[in-house]
Structure 1
Amino acid sequence: MDAAISQGIDRFTLTGVAKTLGVAAPSLYRVVNSRDDLLMHCFLRVTGELNLPDPEATWQDQLREYTDALWNLCGTYPGIAHSLLTFPGSHFAIQDYLDDLTRGLTRASFPGGDDDMHFIVDMLSDNVLVASMVTQSLRDGDGFELARQRLGSVRSEERQHFPIRENLWDHDWLQRKTEFVIRGMELQLRP
């Protein structure tokens, strides 16, 4: 798992892992069945580091803490966001975490039912994972400069929608989205 994670959770190959370990690729099949099998083990290891929100906090603050924890996890493990979004059923790795999270939200008097809870956690998760992927692609190498050049090739700066600014894809932007989703849920579920 360490060798796969070090190569990038979204990029590793069994051949690359074997080379890192100094063994032949077929030797790995004594330990894992496939790349997907190794990826699932990586998911379990990495998501095991996901910090659980304070169960005594308000449901709104628990959701804020969850988005921060997921954002930090994505920053620690580049490629995890892409892998989680594109691997069918990847949320298998956080079922126990989700049990604890939903218990905390319920204890904090979340105003909706399970479907509402699943909806907001899913929406916030998608926001974090997509924002992380975009941020990573812009921060890798010359990503910001390439994006500015591409956008500048079709529009002058004063006419650009979503101009390429580093602060547009940072944690503060994600927090604004999180607040918007939480506020929307408060309005939808108010008595």
Structure 2
Amino acid sequence: MARYRGPRLRIVRRLGDLPGLTRKSPRRAYPPGQHGQARKKKSEYAVRLEEKQKLRMNYGLSEKQLRRYVQKARRVTGSTGQVLLQLLEMRLDNTVFRLGMAPTIPGARQLVNHGHVTVNGRVVSIPSYQCKPGDVIGVRNRDGSRKLVEANLQYPGLANLPSHLEFDKNTLVGKVNGVVQREWVALQVNELLVVEYYSRLV
């Protein structure tokens, strides 16, 4: 299934706050659709599906991509849920978003796709690139790229910079100092339910 390109507020109304998807807040507090206001008890499957969809929509992944990340997280020692979140948080598009260089993750993906971002001095146009501790993330040395990032920095998506990142606003250079810790993940999600959801499928 391809990446979702429809109205983002509809997804936010359905799944709750997704800080990486949009900065707007919905006017209505109930889910969209004819039966949005009619509360009904969710099955265990529905609860797990909703947590999985939160993760998928917030990071802008296809179903196939998320399944691959789950398989990769399973092969690593440690808690599968936490490793999964670390893999997603260390993607280049998400790192650019967390540095404040873009207002949302889709905005950061576009910034990367259009060749405005460099990693260790080289232009990287792959949003799924896995950032590693020690990577230096900067802006391409072009006026258009710098103006774009400077405009985005005035209204960053999230106010707080995570502890594993540092950023110099004067030189527009950021550095990855380590791997993200669980408490710095902005998305409110129960990653164990996501792993349980995929345990029957993967």
Normalised by the size of structure 2, how large is the TM-score? 0.27
More helix by share: 1
More strand by share: 2
From the CA coordinates, give the structure whose radius of gyration is larger: 1
Higher RCO (CA < 8 A, seq sep 6+) = 2
Normalised by the size of structure 1, how large is the TM-score? 0.29
